[in-house]
Structures are given as C-alpha cells and as structure tokens.
C-alpha cells in the first residue's frame, strides 16, 4: 500500500511539474522564460483569461484598460449571455468588450465614468484594479472582510479614499504586493503582466463563501405538471378550426373576422404578435440573495445537455422570490428544471411535461409566423420529428416596411443557438436582386431558392424552382432548417404543403398549417382563398386538383406529389430518406 502511495506521489509531482511549465509563454516573443511574469502569463493564457496583443506578442508591460479588465473577468465567469443596452455612448454594439461591460455593470463590478460614458480605453491603476476585484469577489458572494495594515508602505497615504478598504483587502489576501519592499504605488498603472500574476494568485485563494448552500423551493411548474405551449388565442383557434366552431370554415373571411372581432384585437395597431407561443412562467424561492441565479432546463434527468428552449432574464418578484419566462418547448416532452446560483448551490430538480398540442409555435424576438413542422401526427398515426424543419416569415426586412417581423440581434442568436438552425432557405425571388442585406449569422448556411405560388410550381420556371428548393429542403444533412418567404404565408405555405403531403399528413392538417398563418402580424390566410370563390386562382384547392388531374391513376396526394418531384429529377431515394428521418415509429 505504501509503495502504491509513493508511486502515486511521484506521478502527481511529475504532473504538477509539467503543469507549472509556462507552456504558452514561449509563444510570445516578448515573454521569455527568464521574465518574472512568464509563468503567470502562461497560466492566464492557458486558462483562457487573456490573449496576446498580436504579432506574436503579449505586451506584458502595457497598461490594462477598463475594457480589458472587465473582459478578463467576464471570460473567467464563462462569458454569460448579456443583452446589449446602449447605456454608454462610448460602448458600441459589437466591440470585443461590449458584452463584458454590460455584464460587469449589471453585476455591480464597475460603474461608468459618467452618466453616459464608460471609458473602455482608459488605463486602470493598481488601486482601481483592487476595487474592481473586491466588487467582483462580493459578486461571487465570498467574504471580503479581511484587511491588512497599510502602515507597512510609505505611500499608503496616497491611496484614494474610495479604494482604501479594497487595497487593504487585496494586500491582506495576497493579490497585490508592493512594487518595492516599502512602496505600493496605488496610483501607478496596472500592467498586463501584473494582472496575469493577480489572476493566478486569485485562483489560488481559498475564499470563504458566505452561504455555501442556498435553500431553494421550486414553485412552478410543479412536479408532474402538464403545460400547453399554445397561448390562449392559439388554443381557441385550434378548437374552433378542428371542432367546426367557425360559422363557415370554407368562408375565406371567417378566420380573419373572428380574429378581428370582439374577443381579440391582435393585429398591427395593437402591437401584439399572436403567433408567439405561450411564455411559461417559472418561479422559485431562494434564501441566498446572490446576484447570479440561472435556470437550467434539460430533457435529460442528469442535465447532460441543455434543452433547445429560450430562457429569459431572471427577475426578483419580492424578497426571496424569483421568476423568469421560458418558451419554445417541444410538444409531448418531459423536461427537468433546476436553479443554480453562484456556481456552487443548486436546487433539487423537478419535472414537468408539455401537452401534445396540435402544433408547435416558435418565438424568435422580432419575428412572426414561425413554427416547427414537426410534433404533429400524420394520417398513419405516426409523429413527425420535432426540431428538424422550421417555417416562418423572413428574418430580416429589406425595405424595413414591417420592422416588427424582422429578427432582432437577440432573435438571430435564438435562431442559431437556442434552436440550433444550421441552414436557412430563402424562397424570395426579390432576394436575387440584392435587395436584402443577407449574411451568414453564427455560421448558418444561406440559400436563395425562389418559389412561385401553388399551381405556379407545376409549370415552367416554377417547376424548375421547385426542384432546386426540394434539393435543399429534403437534404437531412442540412437540418435543422429554416425556410421562409416574406410573410411565411403563400410561398412558404406552398413548400410547407409539399412537405406536409410527403409526410403523409391528413389534408385537414395541411389546411390548418396554412390557415394558422392568420395568427400572426401578416394578413389573413385561408386554404380556400383570400376573398375569391373556391375555384379562384388563389385557392389552394386548385393545387390539389391540378395534381389529381396530372396523375389520375395515383390514389393519394402523397403519391401524386412524390411522383411529380421524381419527374422533376428528385431522386426517389432522397424522398424516402427524408420520410424515414422525419416520420418516427
């Protein structure tokens, strides 16, 4: 046994020696192994706290700026999400330090240099750095009560009054040492290598946590709750559509007249977007008044992966009671949720389940008419895979005529990170004319494949466009996919109908997937036409009739659509691979 312990000790010592080598310092031409800060710089870079300044240099003697300091602390906390706020006129939306400034200001670590400025390029003094670190430590809910005697330094009288406690704490904790045996130099600029040394010391301090174990009570959703993802308007629409509760479902104006009636005023003038799903309110209590509380939601009981939901900001409702809104849940899914605080305390988890609603609407900030085509049941009683294909309105409006249907920066982040969209398929012919300022957001692959309306896809150029669209839409390697036109209604409705029919959806569900566009800030939509007679050119009924006439020997719309796509050059194997992937057993 002693021999095993001795061998283990030798191995551990060897590992510690390897870790102590400044592996990254040699990468910088201005930080050689003989420099006093070489190991500190290596440590700060290896931990991901600091980077070089370019051209293979670290610039160890250069001054730390306010923007640099908050960025390093922000990285140390894992770069938590921070929504941009134009509070400071000198903090632009896309600077390297922007999110860090917002986070640090909200956390109480820094303030502005005036009511409207932050001064990110201003150099930081040693006493200012001590004050920031003390506030950061308070933010982490560690005790900062220890103080050193300042009399040991001859220049202690030069410490600014606001920084006296912070400097005394930093000296006592060992974070800041004298620049000589008798001087502290509180007003001198803090250099990058000095900060690297402080970071290494900071990680080695055993801080006392004020409340090591917070007490939580998760209030809602309660254990075992079943919740609907639909907002009340959507739930009513579903009931009226499927239960025949509209006066005349075949009347093009029936849906719109109901929406504009006395029981809901929801369109543009009101500013409400009825296409958004329900915002589920999460509430809990916590007896530890720390500044960080994070809601974690997973489909796995061990929280091994986060769920593809959108979690809002945490608010304090009353003392000790906290809340946030969460949306974009999948249908018929069991979720586990818990609250974590200060990276130490975590609540016991609770589970709840979402109902098998008729469809899954999606919230992306600024967008409209967005939904997952999955989660529904086809005519064979089989579920369609969720999280693979999404449809909706355009995420950006080239003429800004309808700004309410353009994704905000946060909406774009939600699309890429919360939903994990991999590919964007734009069905607008006008996009080819360069009217849109398109781009790859967060690495989302972008395709422009124009589409015509309904029967247009059966002839000429429309048929050629349909083939190009389906080559992308049926390629499962490109999922999760988001396809859209301008309003997410007609052109998107065309492709949506093709996909629905291929998936074997009942025609009533295909019609619903088109009509539910009326629950958005775009105009009314009806499968039977928008104000025309049933036989009118805009009627989606004509789309089905035309396919039936084209293939009279085929019994179902699914067979007819598949045969038509094959005639355009789409491989039947690709269609089958699409169905195999999307239709769950």
Note the pLDDT tens digit of each residue in 97-128.
Answer: 999 998 999 888 998 889 889 999 999 988 88
Instruction: Look at 385-399, 468-482, 483-497 and tell me which has the smallest mean pLDDT.
Output: 385-399
Residue 15 has pLDDT above 60, yes or no: no
Nearest CA among 234, 231, 446, 416 for reference residue 308: 416
Nearest CA among 553, 547, 493 for reference residue 524: 493
Q: What is the DSSP string of 79-102?
A: -------TTSTTS-TTSTTHHHHH
Question: CA 261, CA 247: separation in Å to the nearest integer?
Answer: 13
How many CA atoms does the CB half-sphere of 30 hold within 13 Å? Answer: 13
Share of the chain above pLDDT 70, in %: 82
pLDDT category of residue 236 using cuts at 50, 70 and 90: confident
Q: Between the ranges 81-95, 291-305, 371-385, 430-444, where is the mean pLDDT highest?
A: 371-385
Nearest CA among 103, 109, 107, 44 for reference residue 79: 103
Higher pLDDT, 15 or 310: 310
Distance of CA 526 to the CA centre of its chain: 33
Token pair belonging to 315: 């608010």
- Helix, strand, coil: what percent of the chain each, to 5? 35, 15, 50
pLDDT of 341-357, one tens digit each?
765 688 999 999 999 99
Contact 279, 297 (CB under 8 A): no
Query: Dihedral angle at the C-alpha atoms of 533, 537, 541, 542, nearest 10 degrees?
Result: 140
Q: What separation in angstroms does the CA of 161 have from each of 144, 153, 164, 389?
A: 17, 16, 5, 60
CA dihedral sign, ordered 113, 115, 120, 121: negative
Q: Is 112 exposed, middle or buried (0-12, 13-18, 19+ CB in 10 A)?
A: middle
pLDDT category of residue 486 using cuts at 50, 70 and 90: confident
Q: Indicate the pairing of strand 334-341 with strand 345-346.
A: antiparallel
Q: What is the DSSP string of 536-562?
A: STT-HHHHHHHHHHH-TT--SHHHHHH
Residue 170 has pLDDT above 50, yes or no: yes
Q: At what angle do helices 192-204 and 66-76 cross, to 10 degrees?
A: 30
Higher pLDDT, 546 or 145: 546
pLDDT at residue 19, rounded to an integer: 34
Share of the chain above pLDDT 90, in %: 42
Residue 401 has pLDDT above 60, yes or no: no
pLDDT at residue 204, rounded to an integer: 87
Question: CA 362, CA 354: separation in Å to the nearest integer?
Answer: 14
pLDDT category of residue 81 using cuts at 50, 70 and 90: confident
pLDDT category of residue 150 using cuts at 50, 70 and 90: low
Domains identified in the chain and CATH numbers: 25-204 (no CATH), 216-226+277-354 (2.60.40.10), 360-582 (3.90.190.10)
pLDDT of 238-289, one tens digit each?
887 887 655 555 554 555 555 554 444 344 444 468 899 999 999 999 887 6
pLDDT of 575-584, one tens digit each?
999 999 999 9
Contact 558, 579 (CB under 8 A): no
Question: CA 491, CA 522: separation in Å to the nearest integer?
Answer: 13
| Angle, alpha carbons 355-516-381 (nearest 5°) | 50
User: Where does 254-403 have alpha helices with state H?
Assistant: 254-259
pLDDT at residue 217, rounded to an integer: 94
| Angle, alpha carbons 60-66-67 (nearest 5°) | 90
Distance of CA 403 to the CA centre of its chain: 21
Token pair belonging to 444: 């989302």
Q: How many residues does the chain have?
A: 585
Residue 297 has pLDDT above 80, yes or no: yes
What pTM was computed for the model? 0.65
Rg over alpha carbons for the chain, rounded to the nearest Å, is 30
Residue 68 has pLDDT above 50, yes or no: yes
pLDDT at residue 524, rounded to an integer: 67
Place of tokens 């629905």: 500
Question: CA 254, CA 263: separation in Å to the nearest integer?
Answer: 14
pLDDT at residue 180, rounded to an integer: 86
């Amino acid at each position: 046994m002693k021999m095993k312990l001795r061998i283990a000790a030798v191995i551990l010592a060897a590992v510690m020696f390897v870790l102590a080598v400044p592996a990254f310092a040699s990468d910088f031409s201005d930080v050689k192994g003989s420099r006093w800060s070489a190991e500190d710089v290596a440590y700060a870079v290896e931990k991901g706290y600091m980077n070089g300044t370019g051209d293979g240099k670290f610039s160890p003697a250069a001054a730390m700026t306010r923007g640099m300091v908050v960025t390093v602390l922000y990285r140390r906390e894992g770069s938590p999400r921070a929504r941009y706020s134009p509070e400071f006129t000198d903090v632009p939306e896309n600077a390297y330090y922007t999110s860090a400034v917002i986070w640090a200001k909200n956390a109480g670590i820094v303030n502005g240099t005036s009511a409207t400025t932050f001064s990110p390029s201003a150099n930081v003094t040693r006493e200012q750095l001590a004050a920031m670190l003390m506030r950061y430590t308070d933010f982490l809910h560690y005790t900062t009560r220890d103080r050193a005697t300042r009399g040991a330094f001859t220049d202690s009288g030069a410490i600014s009054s606001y920084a006296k406690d912070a400097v005394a704490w930093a000296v006592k904790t060992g974070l800041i040492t004298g620049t000589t045996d008798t001087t502290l130099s509180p007003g001198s600029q803090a250099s990058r290598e000095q900060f690297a040394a402080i970071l290494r010391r900071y990680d080695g301090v055993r801080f006392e946590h004020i409340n090591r174990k917070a007490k939580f009570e998760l209030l809602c959703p309660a254990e075992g709750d079943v919740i609907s993802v639909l907002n009340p308007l959507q739930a009513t629409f579903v009931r009226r559509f499927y239960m025949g509760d509209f006066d005349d479902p075949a009347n093009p104006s029936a849906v719109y007249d109901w929406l504009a009636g006395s029981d809901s005023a929801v369109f543009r003038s009101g500013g409400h977007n009825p296409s958004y799903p329900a915002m589920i309110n999460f509430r809990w209590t916590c007896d530890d008044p720390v500044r960080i509380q994070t809601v974690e939601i997973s489909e796995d009981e061990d929280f091994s992966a986060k769920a593809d939901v959108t979690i809002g900001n945490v608010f304090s409702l009353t003392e000790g009671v906290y809340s946030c809104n969460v949306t974009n849940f999948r249908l018929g899914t069991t979720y586990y949720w818990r609250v974590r605080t200060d990276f130490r305390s975590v609540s016991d988890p609770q589970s709840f389940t979402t109902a098998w609603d008729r469809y899954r609407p999606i919230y992306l900030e600024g967008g409209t008419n967005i939904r997952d085509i999955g989660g529904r049941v086809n005519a064979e009683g089989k579920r369609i895979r969720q999280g693979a294909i999404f449809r909706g309105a355009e995420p950006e409006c080239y003429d800004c005529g309808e700004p309410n249907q353009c994704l905000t920066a946060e909406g774009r982040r939600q699309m890429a990170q919360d939903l994990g969209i991999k590919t964007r398929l734009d069905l607008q012919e006008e996009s080819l004319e360069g009217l849109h300022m398109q781009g790859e957001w967060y690495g989302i692959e972008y395709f422009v494949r124009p589409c015509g309306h309904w029967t247009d896809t059966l002839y000429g150029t429309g048929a050629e466009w349909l083939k190009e669209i389906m080559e992308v839409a049926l390629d499962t390697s490109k999922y999760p996919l988001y396809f859209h036109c301008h309003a997410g209604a007609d052109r998107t409705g065309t492709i949506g109908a093709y996909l629905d029919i291929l998936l074997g959806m009942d025609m009533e569900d295909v019609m619903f997937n088109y009509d539910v566009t009326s629950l958005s800030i775009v105009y009314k939509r009806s499968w039977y036409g928008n104000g025309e007679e049933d036989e009118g050119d805009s009627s989606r009924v004509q789309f089905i009739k035309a396919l039936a006439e084209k293939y009279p020997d085929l019994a179902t719309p699914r067979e007819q659509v598949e045969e038509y796509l094959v005639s355009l050059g789409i491989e039947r194997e690709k269609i089958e691979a699409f169905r195999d992937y999307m239709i769950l057993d």
